[in-house]
Structures are given as C-alpha cells and as structure tokens.
Amino acid sequence: MATSPQPEGGSANAGNAAAAATDQGAPQRKKDRTHWLYIMVIVAVFAGAAIGLVAPDAGIALEPLGKAFVALIKMIIAPVIFCTIVLGVGSVAKAATVGKVGGLALIYFLVMATFALVIGLIVGNFIHPGEGLHLQPYEEASGGEEGGMVAFLMSLIPGDIPVLPTLVLALLVGFALQSMGKAGEPVLNGIKHIQAVVFKLMMMIMWAAPVGAFGAIAAVVGKTGWAAIGAMATLMGAFYLTCALFIVIVLGGLLKIVTGLNIFLLLKYLAREFLLIFSTSSSESALPRLIAKMEHAGVSKPVVGITVPTGYSFNLDGTAIYLTMASLFVSSAMGMPMSIPEQISLLVFMIIASKGAAGVTGAGLATLAAGLQSHRPELLDGMGVIVGIDKFMSECRALTNFTGNAVATLLIGKWTNEIDIDQARATLSGQSPFDELSLEPEAHGTPAESDRPNEGEKVTVS
C-alpha cells in the first residue's frame, strides 16, 4: 500500500524513518550473512599469513585447502556463464526494444566496459603485480604420502566443463530464444529458475572461501614469505588507485563535458548509498535509492527506469578493471606472463562473459576463473591467492560500478534531452535536498514494471 510522503519536520519520527529508509532494498538477513562472510575471510587471510611466516612448512602443507576451493569454483564456472549469457542476450533484446534510450544505454555500456578492461590491462602491464612470487601448479608442489588421500578427496569434486564451448552454446541459445519471441519466454523463465539454483550453489561455495583463503595464503606465504604479502598489497593498492582515477578523471571528465556537473558533488549527493554499499559489499542494496535520487536530480522516470536496472547487469566498470588486473596478477605470480595477443583475446572474452556475470557474491571469481581457463588453464592454480584478497577489493568494485551507473543515467538523460539540468545543479549543490521520507518501498522500485525492461535481471555487483 503506497503512502503519501510525510510533511517535512517531525524531527524524531523523521530521523527514524530516514534511518529505516537507508536499509530498504537490503534484507537484514542477507546483509548479516555477507557481513559475517567478509569478517571470516579477513580473519582467515591474516591467520594464513601468520602461519606461513611463523611455520612455513605447516603453511605449505595447507595448500590442498586452497586447491579444493579453486576446484569448486571451476565446477560452477560453466553453469554461471551459461545462465548469465543466455539471460543477458534476452536482456539486450528487451532493452533494445525501448528505442533510443535503451540502444544508447547499451552502446555506452559496451564502450565504457571495454575502456575499463583496457585500463586494467594497461595498469597491470605497467606495475606487473605478482612478479617474483614464482608460484607453481599444485600438482608440481605437492606430493608425499598424503598424495593418495588428497587425490581421493579431490576426486570427489566434479570436473569442470570447457568454458569456450559453453559460451558459444549460451550465445546461440540466447539468440535462438530471442528469435522465438513469446514462445521462448517459458524457456527463459525456466533458465531463470535454474540460474537461481546455480547462484544458490555459488553462495554455498563462497561460504567455504575462508577455508580456501586460509590454505592458499598460508601456502604462498610459506613459500615466498613477505614477498607474497607485498605483492598482494601492491595489487590492492593499484586497483584502488585505478578505480579512484577512473571515477574522477574518466567518469568525472565525461560528466563535466556533457552535462557541466561536478563529479565530487555527485559523490557527496550519493554518500548515504556509498555507506550502504560499503556495509554490504553489494550495490544492489542501494538500487531503490539510486532510482529515487536520479529522478529527484531531474532525470525523467523512463530514462531512469531503463538505464539504472540495465546498467546493473551491463555497466560494471569496477568489475572490468578487476578482472583484467587480477588475471595479469595470477599470470605474473605463476611466472607465466601472457603475451599481448593472449591479453587481447582475454579482453574480448571478458567483454562478453562479464555482461550480467555478477549474479551473487563470488560470481566475479567465477568469471575470472572462466577467463583463465579458456586461455591459460595452467594458471587456475594461482587463483587461490586472489580468493584471499578478493573481499578486500569487493567494496571498491561495487562503489565503482554504482558510480558508473549514476553517471551513465545523467549522461543518457542529457543525450536524450530527458533531464532538467537546473534541477540537477540545484540537487547536487544542496539547494534542493533529497527528502528521505519520500523513499517508500512502493514509490521507487516496484511500480511501472513495464517501464523497466531489465529489472527482472537485477544482479548483485561484487
């Protein structure tokens, strides 16, 4: 039942309502679970590093834990890629049918994602993260009497399915269903249900991430000592700096040139949403608030309703930067650097595979594993180190993705003449403050479903 906005004032009640509104769109139970997983991974990373430094042999002996977790990730790669690509192709079709706004949004998302991937490759080639670690494939580093038991336990995990054939099949199925029109909708709905099961399985696997991170970090630190800690810190620092520069220079420059608006004022306007994203490591929790705030900033409801949900699946700038930098980190750490042609081929793969491939926490890892498996399968054993530090980078990915979608909404509003620039300036300058009391669950997020062609494909960006 929709309720009318409360009058301004009413201090105590207003504060309570505003606080309640801040958490709308993020179920408390899910928020708590993500919070605990994050804490456990951090504890596991520090514990693994400590054991690797204090007792290197014991740390190296824990390597099968990391290997088992990577095997579980490999197991789920193909189902994740298949479901997200099939549904992603369907989402493109829906978005394209809304005409100028949808087509312009998709072109912009494709260009920006490609640009972000290229930036990740450039930075990765410049800093060479992971260089000097000289990690070895698990099979070469393990052995002894434990080999039989470890091999038996590893054999219990189903093998992985080839990624590139899965990707090609998913594209063909997606286009076939697209051409079937309404006759293909039941199949798409069925795949959505399968995707829900796959994502649930992915989340179950991610709850083993603390164990996998503990074993992987203990092993790599046991082998290389402080060099591993320095390499991981270098990757995280470079990633954070790259995302910050991308937001300020690339997104901020575009925003200033096209609309005349200031990126720092936009960041200040979205401060509450950034806090919400940081606490949940997911930009989906702030989706209703972004829709409401973009409408308040003067962008028309149809443009917001098309651009924001579609962007949550297709405009993943932070994830794109992460995928390429993490790939180069693993290849450098394994002492198997990728050639330029391999990097370009990986970039093309990531452009396709990253579309809608952020379904749940950990799906970014699945996409990264898919890229490595499709190009250099021998590099997968080096992913255990990434598992340990992935959580430290998830908030930065989510914040970058969220900011990219906010900027995209303003840009597309300007390009389609569907934005009140005077209202936007007044809003960002604080002259027309956003009324937190107007953010009702029914007011922003559920009505006008027909105006939001991709809202059914909302994803968690991690």
Tokens coding 298: 């003067």
pLDDT of the residue at 457: 42
Domain spans in the chain, listed from the N-terminal domain onward: 28-457
Say whether 67 sits in a helix, a strand or coil.
Answer: helix
Instruction: Kindly report, residue by residue over 358-392, the tens digit of the pLDDT.
Output: 444 556 677 777 777 777 777 777 776 777 677 77
8 A C-beta contact, residue 383 and residue 354: no
Tokens coding 269: 């306007």
pLDDT of the residue at 131: 66
Residue with tokens 């992460």: 322
- Residue 402's identity, in one-letter code, is F
**Number of helices and strands (H, E) in the chain?**
21, 0
8 A C-beta contact, residue 322 and residue 114: no
User: What is the distance between the alpha carbons of residues 236 and 229, in angstroms, rounded to a whole number?
Assistant: 11
Instruction: Tell me the backbone φ, ψ of residue 236, rounded to 5 degrees.
Output: -65, -45
pLDDT of the residue at 12: 40
pLDDT of the residue at 461: 38
What residues have CB less than 8 Å from 165, skipping those under 6 apart?
Answer: none
Torsion-angle region of residue 10: left (phi > 0), alpha (psi -120 to 50) or beta? left
| Biggest alpha carbon–alpha carbon distance for the chain | 74
Instruction: Kindly report, residue by residue over 65-100, the tens digit of the pLDDT.
Output: 877 887 787 787 778 778 877 876 766 665 555 567
pLDDT of the residue at 253: 94
Sequential pLDDT tens for the chain (462 residues): 333 334 333 334 434 444 444 444 444 444 445 567 777 878 888 888 889 888 888 888 887 887 788 778 778 777 877 887 787 676 666 555 556 777 788 889 888 888 888 888 888 888 777 666 666 555 544 444 455 676 767 677 776 667 668 777 887 888 888 788 788 888 888 888 888 888 788 778 878 878 888 888 888 788 777 777 787 788 888 889 999 999 999 999 999 999 999 999 999 999 888 887 776 556 666 777 888 888 888 888 888 877 887 787 777 888 888 888 888 888 887 777 888 888 888 777 777 766 654 444 556 677 777 777 777 777 777 776 777 677 777 778 888 988 999 999 999 999 988 888 999 999 898 888 877 665 543 443 333 333 444 434 443 334
User: What is the distance between the alpha carbons of residues 79 and 144, in angstroms, rounded to a whole number?
Assistant: 35
**Segment holding 432, helix H or strand E:** none
Burial class (CB in 10 A: 0-12, 13-18, 19+), 402: buried
Between the two ends of the chain, the Cα-to-Cα distance in Å is 32
Kindly list the distances between the CA atom of residue 56 and the CA atoms of 48, 65, 213, 219, in Å, as whole numbers in the listed order.
10, 15, 16, 8
The CATH-assigned architecture of domain 28-457 is Orthogonal Bundle (1.10)
pLDDT of the residue at 265: 93
Kindly write down the DSSP assignment for every residue of 346-402, as one continuous string. Answer: HHHHHHHHTTT---STTHHHHHHHHHHHHH-GGGGGGHHHHHHHHHHHHHHHHHHHH
